[in-house]
C-alpha cells in the first residue's frame, strides 16, 4: 500500500524527522489551547500543582512495545533532563503512576506554562544505554530506519493509532542550499520541499507540477536593544526608533511580502493575545521630535560617517541573506531620522555568545512567539541569560502570568505586558513570518487545522487513488 516519496528538509531535517516519527503528549492549536494526543484527559488539583494525565490505551512504540503509565513516567523523566527542555520542567517535583491509565505530575508551584510545554514535548521510548548512539524510538506515523546529518529514511508504522500512512517510505535529504533544493524539485527529483525560500517562492508557485502551501510561522523578526547602552537606555529613544520603522515596507521589501506586522512577542492568534492600545505607527516626524526632546541633535559626521544624532552597532546573522536584507532596510529607515545603525554580520554562534554576555548594542534575529512560556523565557531579565539585555521592566508581570491560575488572570497580565512593552520597549517588534512548503501534484496532502501540512503527513495520499485526506 502506498508510494515512496522523497523530501528535502534543508536545515529543517531534524524538525521534519521528529514531526513524522514522534507524537507529543498534548497538541497545541493555533490559538494556544491544548487538545488531546498521547494524553486524552488532563486536570489540575485544587492547589494547581498536581496535573493528572490519562493516557491513550492504543499507543505503541515503533518496536512494538505498548505504552504503559510506567513507561510514560520514565519517558517524561528523561524529557526533563534533555538539554533544551522547557524552562517550566524545572518546576517538576515528582512524576508517578497514579492509576491503571494515569500519571500524576507534581510541581513545586503553580506554573501556567507547563501544560503548553507538554505539547512541544515528544514521547520517545526511554533508552537503555544513555551513552550509546541509538535511533530514537517514537510512536509517530513513521519510524526512523536510518538518520544522520544529511539523510534519513522513514517507513510507515502499521500500528499507528490514528491510521496507517498511505506513503510507505520517505527519503529525506539535506541540501546544502535552498537553490540546490528547489532546482531538484523542479527537475522532478524531489516530491516535497520542506521550506521554500522567499526568493524562490514565486518561481516554485508557478510550476505546474508543484503546489505550494503557505501558513503563518510562529516566529517574529525583532530588533532587540541593550538598555545598558548610554543612549538606548532611554525609553523615549527606543520609542522613537520604533516610530521610525515602516513595518509594511520592511515586510514588502525585506521579506518579499511573506509576513505581517508585529506589535509584540505573542502570536496574534493566541487566545490571550491583546492588541496594543497604542501601537507604534510609522511616524518619522514624531520620531525626530522624541529624539530632539532627548537632547539628541544631529552632529557632523566623523571619519566618513554620516551626520547623525547618535550611532549604535547591530549584530546580524551574517550567514543568512534574509537578515542582512532586512537589516539594510532598517538601517536606511533609521538614517532618515538621523540615527546611524552600523551593521556587524557574524556567524550565528558568535551572535548568540555575544547576546548571552550582553556584549552588544542591538541585534536582529527571529524569536519564537508561539506561547507565553517563550515570551517569559526571552523577555524576563536574566544576567547572564539567553537575551542578556539589561531589561527588567516586564519581570513582575511576566512572573504573574506564569503563576496565574485562571484565564482572566492571564489575559489581564498579557494586556499589562503590552502596555509596558509600548511605554518602555525593549525592542522593535517587526514582523510575523510566513512559511511555504512545496509538494508534487502526485500527492494529495488534504488540509490541516494548524495550517501547516507537515503536521499531517500520515494523511497524505498518492493523487488519483480515490482516497483523500480527512
| 39 bridge partner residues | 55
Residues 35 and 167 in one domain: no
Amino acid 5: pLDDT? 67
For 68, residues 6+ apart whose C-beta sits below 8 A from its C-beta are none
Least confident of 230-239, 363-372, 448-457: 448-457
- pLDDT score recorded for residue 371: 92
Question: CA–CA distance from 55 to each of 62, 92, 98, 174, 226 (Å)?
Answer: 17, 19, 11, 35, 45
Provide the domain count of the chain: 3
Residue 450 confidence (pLDDT) above 80: no
Q: Is 133 within a domain?
A: no
Decide if pLDDT at 380 tops 90.
yes
Q: 225 or 279: whose pLDDT is higher?
A: 225
103 in the same domain as 30: yes
User: pLDDT tens across 89-106, in order?
Assistant: 999 999 999 999 999 999
- The domain of 359 spans 217-433
| 205 and 229 together in one domain | no
| pLDDT, tens digit (0-9, with 9 covering 90-100), for 235-286 | 999 999 999 999 999 999 999 888 999 999 999 999 999 888 888 999 999 9
Residue 173 within a domain: yes
Give the 3-state secondary structure of residue 227. coil
Average pLDDT, the chain: 89
302 in the same domain as 155: no
262 lies in the same domain as 298: yes
| Pairwise CA distance, residues 54 & 412, whole Å | 31
Please state, in angstroms and rounded to a whole number, the distance separating the CA atoms of residues 369 and 274. 14
The 10s digit of each residue's pLDDT in 112-168 is: 999 999 999 999 999 876 555 678 899 999 999 988 878 899 999 999 999 999 999
Residue 468 forms part of a structural domain: no
* Average pLDDT for 415-439: 94
Mean pLDDT lowest for which of 8-22, 114-128, 316-330, 395-409? 8-22
Choosing from 60, 84, 118, the residue where a domain stops is 118
Q: Are residues 293 and 402 in the same domain?
A: yes
- Checking if the pLDDT of 2 tops 70, the result is no
- At residue 186, the pLDDT reads 79
Q: Is pLDDT at 45 greater than 50 in this prediction?
A: yes
Q: Which position has the higher pLDDT, 227 or 208? A: 227
Q: How far is 67 from 138, CA to CA, in rounded Å?
A: 11
Task: Count Cβ atoms below 10 Å from residue 57 Cβ, excluding itself.
Answer: 12
Q: What's 270's domain CATH number?
A: 3.10.105.10
Is 68 found in the same domain as 35?
yes
Confidence band (pLDDT; 50, 70, 90) for 320?
Answer: confident
197-223 pLDDT per residue, tens: 666 666 566 667 888 888 888 999 999
Q: What is the mean pLDDT of residues 359-373?
A: 94
Cα–Cα distance for residue pair 244/15, rounded to 1 Å? 36
Residue 312 lies in a domain: yes
Q: Pick the more confident residue, 395 or 466.
A: 395
For residue 145, is it within any domain?
Answer: yes
- pLDDT for residue 301 is more than 90: no
Same domain, yes or no, for 265 and 344? yes
Q: What is the mean pLDDT of residues 342-362?
A: 94
Q: Which residues contact 116 (CB under 8 A, 6 or more apart)?
A: 28, 32, 34, 371, 372, 373
Q: What is the pLDDT of residue 466?
A: 44
Confidence of residue 1 (pLDDT cuts 50, 70, 90): very low
Q: How far apart are CA 317 and CA 119, in angstroms?
A: 29
Please compute the mean of the pLDDT values over residues 309-316 and round it to a whole number: 97
417 lies in the same domain as 450 = no
Which of 448, 462, 470 has its CA nearest to residue 29?
448
Q: Is the pLDDT of residue 391 over 90?
A: yes
Rounded to an integer, the average pLDDT of 46-55 is 97
Mean pLDDT, to the nearest integer, of 232-237? Answer: 98
| Global confidence as pTM | 0.89
pLDDT per residue as tens digits for the range 168-195: 999 998 888 777 887 888 788 888 888 8
Q: Which value, in Å, is the radius of gyration of the alpha carbons in the chain? A: 24
Q: From CA 284, how far away is CA 288, in angstroms rounded? A: 6
Asked if 274 and 383 sit in the same domain, the reply is: yes
> Do residues 194 and 227 both lie within one domain?
no
Tell me the average pLDDT across 6-15: 67
pLDDT at position 128 is 72
**Residue 123 forms part of a structural domain:** no
What is the model's pLDDT at position 195? 80
pLDDT at residue 129 in the model: 65
- At 108, which CATH number? 3.90.76.10
103 touches 41 (CB < 8 A) = no
Which domain CATH number covers 190?
Answer: 3.40.190.10
Q: Are residues 112 and 154 in the same domain?
A: no
Q: Which of 97-122 are b and which e, b meaning 16 or more Cβ less than 10 Å from the residue's Cβ?
A: ebeebbbbbebeeebbbbbbbbbbbb
In the block, cell 544529511 appears at 150
Residue pair 222/428 in contact (Cβ under 8 Å)? The answer is yes
Please state, for a pLDDT cut of 90, what percent of the chain lies above it: 65
Band of pLDDT at residue 469, cut at 50, 70 and 90: very low
Selected residue with higher pLDDT from 385 and 74: 74
pLDDT value, residue 468: 33
358 in any annotated domain: yes
Q: What pLDDT score was predicted for residue 442?
A: 87
135 inside domain: no
Amino acid at each position: 500500500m502506498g508510494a515512496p516519496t522523497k523530501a528535502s528538509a534543508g536545515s529543517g531535517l531534524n524538525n521534519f524527522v521528529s514531526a513524522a516519527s514522534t507524537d507529543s503528549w498534548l497538541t497545541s492549536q493555533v490559538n494556544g489551547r491544548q487538545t488531546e494526543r498521547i494524553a486524552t484527559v488532563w486536570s489540575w488539583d485544587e492547589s494547581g500543582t498536581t496535573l493528572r494525565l490519562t493516557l491513550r490505551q492504543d499507543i505503541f512504540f515503533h518496536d512494538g512495545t505498548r505504552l504503559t503509565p510506567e513507561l510514560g513516567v520514565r519517558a517524561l523523566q528523561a524529557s526533563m533532563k534533555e538539554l533544551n527542555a522547557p524552562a517550566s520542567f524545572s518546576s517538576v517535583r515528582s512524576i508517578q503512576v497514579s492509576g491503571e491509565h494515569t500519571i500524576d505530575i507534581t510541581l513545586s508551584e503553580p506554573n501556567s506554562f507547563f501544560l503548553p510545554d507538554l505539547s512541544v514535548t515528544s514521547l520517545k521510548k526511554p533508552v537503555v544505554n544513555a551513552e550509546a548512539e541509538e535511533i530514537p524510538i517514537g510512536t509517530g506515523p513513521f519510524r526512523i530506519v536510518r538518520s544522520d546529518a544529511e539523510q534519513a529514511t522513514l517507513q510507515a508504522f502499521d500500528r499507528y493509532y490514528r491510521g496507517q500512512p498511505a506513503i510507505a517510505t520517505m527519503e529525506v535529504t539535506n541540501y546544502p542550499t535552498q537553490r540546490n533544493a528547489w532546482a531538484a524539485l523542479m527537475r522532478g527529483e524531489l516530491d516535497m520541499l520542506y521550506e521554500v525560500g522567499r526568493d524562490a517562492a514565486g518561481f516554485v508557485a508557478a510550476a505546474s507540477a508543484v503546489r505550494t502551501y503557505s501558513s503563518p510561522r510562529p516566529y517574529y523578526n525583532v530588533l532587540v536593544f541593550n538598555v545598558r547602552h548610554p543612549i538606548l537606555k532611554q525609553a523615549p529613544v527606543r520609542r522613537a526608533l520604533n516610530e521610525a520603522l515602516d513595518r509594511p515596507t520592511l515586510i514588502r521589501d525585506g521579506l518579499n511580502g511573506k509576513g505581517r506586522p508585529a506589535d509584540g512577542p505573542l502570536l496574534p492568534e493566541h487566545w490571550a493575545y491583546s492588541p496594543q492600545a497604542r501601537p507604534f505607527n510609522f511616524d518619522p516626524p514624531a520620531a525626530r521630535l522624541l529624539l530632539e526632546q532627548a537632547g539628541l541633535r544631529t552632529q557632523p559626521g566623523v571619519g566618513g560617517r554620516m551626520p547623525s544624532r547618535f550611532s549604535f552597532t547591530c549584530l546580524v546573522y551574517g550567514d543568512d541573506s534574509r537578515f542582512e536584507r532586512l537589516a539594510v532596510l532598517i538601517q536606511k529607515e533609521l538614517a532618515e531620522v538621523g540615527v546611524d545603525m552600523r551593521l556587524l554580520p557574524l556567524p550565528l554562534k558568535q551572535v548568540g555568545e555575544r547576546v548571552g554576555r550582553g556584549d552588544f548594542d542591538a541585534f536582529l534575529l527571529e524569536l519564537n512567539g508561539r506561547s507565553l512560556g517563550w515570551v517569559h523565557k526571552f523577555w524576563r531579565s536574566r544576567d547572564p541569560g539567553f537575551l542578556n539585555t539589561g531589561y527588567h521592566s516586564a519581570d513582575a508581570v511576566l512572573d504573574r502570568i506564569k503563576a496565574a491560575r485562571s484565564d482572566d488572570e492571564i489575559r489581564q497580565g498579557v494586556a499589562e505586558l503590552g502596555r509596558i512593552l509600548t511605554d518602555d520597549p525593549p525592542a522593535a517588534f517587526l514582523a510575523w513570518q510566513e512559511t511555504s512548503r512545496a509538494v508534487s501534484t502526485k500527492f494529495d496532502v488534504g488540509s490541516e487545522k494548524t495550517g501547516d501540512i507537515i503536521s499531517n503527513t500520515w494523511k497524505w495520499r498518492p493523487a488519483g487513488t480515490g482516497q483523500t485526506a480527512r
